[in-house]
Amino acid sequence: MKKVITYGSFDLFHEGHYQILKKAKALGDHLTVGVTTEHYDQMRGKLNLVDPIMTRIENVRKTGFADVIIVEDHEGQKIEDIQRYGIDIFTLGSDWAGRFDYLKQYCEVVYLPRTAGISSTELRDKLHNVVRIGIIGTGRIAPRFLKETSYVSGIEVVSAFNPERDSARTFEETYQIQTGSEDFDRFLEGTDAVYVASPNETHSDYVRKALSAGKHVLCEKPMTFTYAEAVELYQLARKQGVTLMEGIRTAYLPGFIHLLSTAKDGTIGEICDVEACFTRIGAPGSREMTDARYSGAFLEYGSYTMLPIIKLLGWDYEDFRLESIYGKDGIDIFTKVQFSYKNRLATAKCGAGVKSEGELVIAGTKGYIIAKSPWWLTREFSVRYEDPGRIERHEFAFSGEDGFRYEIAEFISKINGTGGKDYKLTAEESIAMADVVERFMKKRQEYRKKLG
């Protein structure tokens, strides 16, 4: 008898889970299924679980594929189970490819390919409403998004779209996700929501089309290049009764939210100044280093540096100054934006080709908060006072590499109406940042005209 084992949370059981179990069963004669506990899932970074473990076990049982169902509750258990139950084959979906190769010394390891184009079925619909999401754009950020969705309950990536046929074909072959390059309307038909990860200049058009079709939208920043267009898109989302969210990941991190609360609760007194810096030296040939029309330092990183300023000081600034250092072909390699409020100041600095210390410093009348680079992935910050020996350090659990899963979890919660009041990044705050983006675009256009 050939024995097979697989694991999963199986939360909000859907067709993708069903297909994995079916394929796992077909690998041998006996299938053991490990269902993870809520505590273990949280420890390994799985967010917003919905179903209790007994429900998840029952959903696995009802498929009829599992000969034995066990509970996984600690790190290292996979090796123990393989040895205890005499397992011949360990298997998981291809989105985990390579992650469990260390088990090859104990048994055969098989990564099961996804079934391209699978969507919700009667089985899934009877249990839960899993959000079917399509990815627009198949460039460098799309694989990261796809990977992180596996840590968030209630979402299933069912398709992708890219008008560049070769890129679309490569993405489909690599990730077994049905990917189109011609019929955008047909792509939208098979989704409940979309994630826009296409080039910056295409964002607003894709968002408008998706909203008009009644789809929820998560869009990479900057969503638009103008204030008026940002207002239009949020109004359209409200009219259609769907969620529109701009993907500034820092806004959704637990550590950043706590940092803002600490700054606002009087710990450092009255806030007088906010300084935020985000710089990277991009790879030669990368978008941020070469696209002088729609990329560069500010369009890639400016949203992050403006975020804490808008969140803490609002958008009713009295004066505004923007200066850039330009590189080849008029691309900004360093941009500084200075805001003046009544009795308060703020500075946002970002670089692509210029490197500086990436800090967030919030100065108050009683003390200050400092978050070291990379503060935009908030894992820790310190509160400091006049007494140099008095330092309060705050540290936070951080799941994943780049905060994607917190943003995705927030998006799903908004769609399902379980996210509560909108406060992490409001439409008004997103629109306020679009106004600054528009001013930047005009200034850079003027500079390019001088270059001829």
Asked if the model's pLDDT at residue 128 lies above 50, the reply is no
What pLDDT is recorded for position 122?
A: 40
Backbone dihedral region for residue 251 (phi beyond 0: left; psi -120 to 50: alpha; all else: beta): alpha
Q: Which fold has domain 122-248?
A: Rossmann fold (3.40.50)
Examine domains 3-112 and 122-248 and report if their fold is the same. Answer: yes
At 238-265, the pLDDT tens digits run 999 999 999 999 999 989 999 999 999 9
Burial letters 55-69, b for 16+ CB under 10 A, else e: bbbebbeebebbeeb
| Full 3-state SS string of 37-60 | CHHHHHHCCCECCCCCHHHHHHHH
Mean pLDDT of the chain: 91
What pLDDT is recorded for position 285?
A: 83
State the virtual CA torsion across 113, 115, 121, 127 in degrees, nearest 10: 20
Cα–Cα distance between 284 and 287 in angstroms, integer? 9
Cis peptide before 143 (omega within 30 of 0): no
Cα–Cα distance between 347 and 350 in angstroms, integer? 10
What pLDDT is recorded for position 42?
A: 72
DSSP β-bridge partners for residue 196: 136, 219
Q: Where are the domains of the chain?
A: 3-112, 122-248, 251-400+420-451
What pLDDT is recorded for position 120?
A: 36
Domain spanning 3-112, CATH class: alpha beta
Residue 170 pLDDT level (bands cut at 50, 70, 90): very high
Residues in the chain: 452
Q: Is the dihedral of CA 151, 152, 156, 157 positive or negative?
A: negative
Residue 58: alpha-carbon gap to chain centroid: 31
3-state secondary structure of 199: coil
Residue 293 token pair = 């029309």
State the virtual CA torsion across 160, 166, 172, 175 in degrees, nearest 10: -100
Residue 265 token pair = 């609760």
Q: What is the DSSP letter of 113?
A: P
Closest CA to 217 of 201, 240, 199: 240
What pLDDT is recorded for position 422?
A: 82
Residue 379 token pair = 């894992």
Contact 433, 306 (CB under 8 A): yes
Q: What is the DSSP string of 255-302?
A: HHHHHHHHHHTTTT-SEEEEEEEEEE-PPTT-HHHH-TTT-SHHHHHH
Residue 375 token pair = 């503060």
Cα–Cα distance between 198 and 415 in angstroms, integer? 22
Name, of 49-63, 107-121, 216-230, 275-289, the range with top average pLDDT.
Answer: 216-230
DSSP β-bridge partners for residue 152: 47
At 302-328, the pLDDT tens digits run 999 999 999 999 999 999 999 999 988
Asked if the model's pLDDT at residue 375 lies above 50, the reply is yes
- Main-chain dihedrals φ then ψ at residue 145, nearest 5 degrees: -60, -45
Asked if the model's pLDDT at residue 51 lies above 80, the reply is yes
Q: What is the DSSP string of 127-172?
A: H--PEEEEEE--STTHHHHHHHHTTBTTEEEEEEE-SSHHHHHHHH
Cα–Cα distance between 141 and 407 in angstroms, integer? 14
Q: Which fold has domain 251-400+420-451?
A: Dihydrodipicolinate Reductase; domain 2 (3.30.360)
Cβ atoms within 10 A of the Cβ of 439, count? 15
Rg, Å, the chain Cα set: 24
DSSP β-bridge partners for residue 320: 339
